[in-house]
Structures are given as structure tokens and as C-alpha cells.
Amino acid sequence: MKFLAFAFLAGLVSALGFAPLGLWPLTLVAFAALLRLIETAPGLRAALARGWWFGVGQFVLGLNWIATAFTFQAAMPAWLGWIAVVLLSLYLAIYPAAAAGLAWRWGRAGSDRLMLVLAAAWIVTEWLRATLFTGFAWNPIGVIWVGAGGIAGLAAFAGTYGLGAVTILAGGALYQLARRQWLRALASAIPVLLLALLPLRAPPPDSSRPLLRIVQPNIGQEEKWTPTFAARNEARLGRLSRGGNPAAILIWPEAAVTDPLQDGRRFPEVREEVMATRAGVRRLILGAPLLLTGGITVKSADGRFANGATNSVFALTPERILARYDKAHLVPYGEYLPMRPLLSAIGLSRLAPGELDFDPGPGPRTIALPVAGRVGFQLCYEIIFSGNVVDRNDRPEWIFNPSNDAWFGAWGPPQHLAQARLRAVEEGLPIVRATPTGISAVIDSGGRLVASLPLGSAGAIEARLPAPLPPTPFARFGNILSLAFASLLAAAAIAVRRKSR
């Protein structure tokens, strides 16, 4: 039992490397402890249990922001949020448990083999976590390296999941130091230390690039559905949008416009409401060449009754709607209610108000727009899915990632930003984030912050859009490279085993 408690504690410590704390050396110590726990496990079941409790600790602390989302839904008690965090962590911990079990089965005969097999297994299990059952890719362990120079730059070659393997190899170096295996520790640590000294690659600033004005109104989720919201939102959006250079492309957050901008119902009063909403938006953006904003649509198969909706991004000029992107990777319980007949019957509902579930869009798209160029869109947490954020057959010049992080407490927004920065490194593309309460940011194609607005503040960012890099290896091949790295690590473990024999 004491080993399971220690595994849980090590998992808690490993989560301290995530934003907002960023104590990544402690994450390495935690993985060194996990390697020790796996190596000393008396059997496969013990190794699985230790990996599982490690995962529970990591996810309970790292995902604590999920509990905050339940405080905005009157139909659900706030304490249910912590039950949701624990239940989700109990499920997600299956993946670290599987990695620990594989490491015990195939690598326990020596520290070199153990860390190689665990690193390879961690790549595969994190990829599976992001893929199975719609996937939940939040906080891959490699995200701790954001801001750590060339270490984060490895994501352009091996992806985020490959970067997670580097984390385990670095933790393995600490474990070997603790065992006084000096040469082995140096062989593991020196490549990581050298990479940390390398700068991230990105094009220099270019004054000819389009000018952006990103608006952060700082209207929280608790205010969004109050009777006075529309007037306050319009006033604040208008004030922040009209300041500065009138030639800038305006950028608003997810769901900045809460009334439908498009509605398939053909009733005259519905059409009048939609036209009034569009007219109100046009008043706010007069003088701007283009607005990119989050909004919603309502679908109707017969023109009379609403039978669906989409969470969307709209590209508008003061005259018309140019294009629309519909979010494809929807959040269970947030944007749709799984098993709706059953869960509705026991009084549960979506966290976001509304009776209609959102319908998914077709996936990543690139849309050519005047002034803005070729834009890719990823709405809210779609940006966390490594290898699934752009149309690889139609590469954009930059990615727009509007989000509503007002749900996410104090830990969620900086974690979301860190994961967006890794997508920029992987794809070699700048990313522009707009959120209602922060953290809004302009990220260059090397993953560096060009400009940002802190959490809980109102304001606007005016900055030039950074230039893209040529396609990175990851942009060309995606997570095939991560899985190939896992195969290489597994092959190295086999070679080490044969040499020892």
C-alpha cells in the first residue's frame, strides 16, 4: 500500500511541471521515482497499479480546472465538478498504467532498457489517449518544455508525444544519477542539456504582414447569459474594436456574438432577429477590412423547427459574411450531452446553456480571405490535438484559435496557451488566440509569444501577424514521426538487452 501512496504522490508532483506553475524539474524527479517504482514492482499487476496511481495523481491535480466549469451550471451542484475530475482521472490513468506495465514486462532487467521501453510506451499510450473514444489530449507530458528553447523545438521533428519520451529519458538520467551510474546518466542528459541551449527557429518580424487587433472584453461566464449581457458586451466590444489602427483585421473570441448569425428557420421574426444581429456587428466593425469572430448557427431541416446548431467562426466584412468554419471536435457534456435520453431523465444537462446539441463540422479547413490570406481554424480545445489542426493537403499560412477559457479557472487558460504554442512549433505556423477573459495571444511559428493579454483583464492586442516557416517534418508526416520514434526507442531497448546478454 505504501508503494501505491508513493506512486500517487509522485503523480501529483509530476503535474507541477504544467502551467501555470511550470516547475518542470520536479516532473523529471517524479518520473525518476516512477522508474524506481516500476523496477521494484514484484509483478505485472503491481507495476500496473503503480502506474495507474501515478496517473491518478497527475490528472487529478493537472485537470483541477474542470471542476470550475460546473460552478457555471445552475442545474448541477458545484461539488459534482470534483467528482467529474476524479472519475475522469480514474479513466485517464489507464494509459500511464499500460505504459508502466509494458515497461515492467519488457524493460525491468536494467535501467537503460527500462527507461527506453517506458519512453516508447508513453508515446503510444499518450497517442491512444488523444485518439480513443473521441480522445482527450489535454496536458501531454511534453508540454512542460514549452519555453525551454530547443527542447520544445524537437516537437517539429518528433511531435508532442515524442517530446514526452524526451521527458522520460531526462527523468531516466536523474534515476541513473541516483544509482551512481555516472556514464549512463551523462549519455542521457547531455543531448537534452545541449538542446536546451538552442534557440527556437522563427522568421524575423515583418512590417509588411497584416495588422491584427485582438479584442479581449473580459466578460466572464457568470455574466454571459444575464439579461444585461448583450448591451454590455456590445459596448465593450465596440470600444475595444474601434481603438488603434482602423486598417487592422479585427479578432473576437469564441461566442463573442451569442445570437445566431445564421438561422435556417424561415419565420419572418427569425429572419429579422438575424438581420438585426448582423447589423449590430457591422456597426461595431465599420472601418475594419475584416472581422473574425466566434458565433453560432441554428439549423432547420424543414425551415420551421430547429434541429441542430453549430459552434462556428465567421469571417465578415461590414457588408457580408464571407465564410464560416464549424467546430468539428466537440466537448462531451459541454457542447453535446452523450446518451441524452438517459442523462436528461435523471436531471443532467450540458454545461453550456441550451437545449440543442451542437453538430460537428467536417474538420480542419483552410479558407482564403482578403487581407488575412490563407487561414486555418481551430475552435477552442480543438487546438490541443497534435497532428489534427490543419488540412495537410491545403496548408494555411496561420491558424486562428478563438476560445472561451472563462470556464477553465486559473489553471486551464495557461495550460491551453502552452498547448497552442506546441502546435505552432509542430506545424511551423503562427497561431492567434482570442479569448473573452484571457489568455489572448499572438504566437510566432517557433512557439514564442509575440504579444499577450493576461488572464482577467480587458484590452486589445495590436500586432503584426508573424510569418510562417516552411513545412516542418511534423507538418509533412504528423504523428507517424512520433510513432516511428517510439519504434526506434523500442529497437534501442532490444539492442541494449542483446548487448547485455
| C-beta atoms surrounding 275 within 10 Å | 10
Cis peptide before 20 (omega within 30 of 0): yes
CA distances from 240 to 18, 215, 233 (A): 32, 6, 11
Q: Which three cell numbers stand for residue 88?
A: 475522469
| Burial group, residue 308, by CB count within 10 angstroms (0-12, 13-18, 19+) | middle
Compute and round to an integer the Cα radius of gyration of the chain.
24
Sheet order of strands, 440-443 included: 366-369, 373-377, 398-402, 431-434, 440-443, 449-453
Catalytic one among 39, 254, 335, 426?
254
Cis peptide before 439 (omega within 30 of 0): yes
Catalytic one among 126, 335, 380, 427?
380
Is residue 254 flagged as an active site residue? yes
Q: Count how many Cα atoms sit within 13 Å of the Cα of residue 81 in the half-sphere of its side chain.
A: 21
The answer to whether 253 and 403 have CB atoms below 8 angstroms apart is yes
Q: Which three cell numbers stand for residue 420?
A: 497552442
The number of residues in the chain equals 501
Catalytic one among 39, 299, 327, 397?
327
Phi, psi of 90 (to 5 degrees): -60, -35
Is residue 299 flagged as an active site residue? no
Is residue 380 flagged as an active site residue? yes
Active site residues: 254, 327, 380
